[in-house]
Structure 1
Amino acid sequence: MPNYRRANVTGGLFFFTVALADRSSNLLIEEIDRLRQSYRTIQERRPFETIAVCILPDHIHALWALPQDDRDFATRWNLIKSGFSRGVDAKPRSQSKVSKREKGIWQRRYWEHAIRDEADLERHVDYIHFNPVKHGHVACVADWPHSSFHRFVERGLLEADWGGDMKDIAGSFGE
């Protein structure tokens, strides 16, 4: 079995991708209020700052700043995922997931990246905000309601038309 190593940076900035086990699911959008409540509860119990976030139907991208004396993002994600899963019907799952009391809703692993510098931070914020367009959910970044993009616009950090408009561009672009 692989030995996964998580970044061990106290008080760091981290980018995450956390995905559902069923990547064709719309569960995160269908249960957006449940997800928001779980996220908010854990953020209150174990503080962290959400720099940027985007919730898509089957995955979440988030950029967090942990408190100066803290490096434990793993427990936070575990609590968010388990809090969300409570009350959601279990999915078909392996004996391994049953024995670990997993409902088969989330992928066990997630992607995390320690932000290195300002340029890296900016690239990841842009990636988070552009992701709904990249996946074809909307033609304009501003049209996706489940994103911190709108907060960035309100604060004057981004223009409302940031990212352009894909309506007039034909073609297939990755993924």
Structure 2
Amino acid sequence: MDEVGGGDVTMERIGEAIALLQSGDAAGARRRFDELWAAIGEDGDAFHRCVLAHYMADVQDDPHEELAWDLRALEAADSLTDARVQQHHATLAVRGFYPSLHLNVAAAYEKVGAPDRARTHLAKARAHTDALGDDAYGEGIRGALDRLEERLAAEAATGAR
């Protein structure tokens, strides 16, 4: 979900906001994401909603708000088709979104103190890892899943949360 292009003005604007976030301007990115969300709306294009909500979660200060945005991204992905995402980039498949989306939901559930729900989404993320490439992105997601699994196991062992 990192590539932006294809003549889609909304995706170009989302990409600009992502660039703000990646440059360290989380407040500026959040303002842009807010404006874009208002324009797209709850019933707007599922691809736009998925990508925007995925990144909007990253600029939340409150872990419950982060979780809400991660769940919005996942919900939008559930209504996507490969044909729609391939309008953005020919190599994309919706299945490839799920490892990252479920990882983010799992991590957010961990933050809000819901380890059982975190484990559920961790398992869902793992069920889709075959959609990841053998590249830096895929290795990054797999590594993050491993680290989350280790934290959840340690919390369970110590009775934390």
TM-score (norm 1): 0.27
Higher relative contact order (CA 8 A, sep 6+): 1
Of Structure 1 and Structure 2, the greater helix share is in 2
Structure showing greater Rg: 1
Counting strand residues as a fraction of each chain, which structure ranks higher? 1
- TM (norm. structure 2) is 0.29
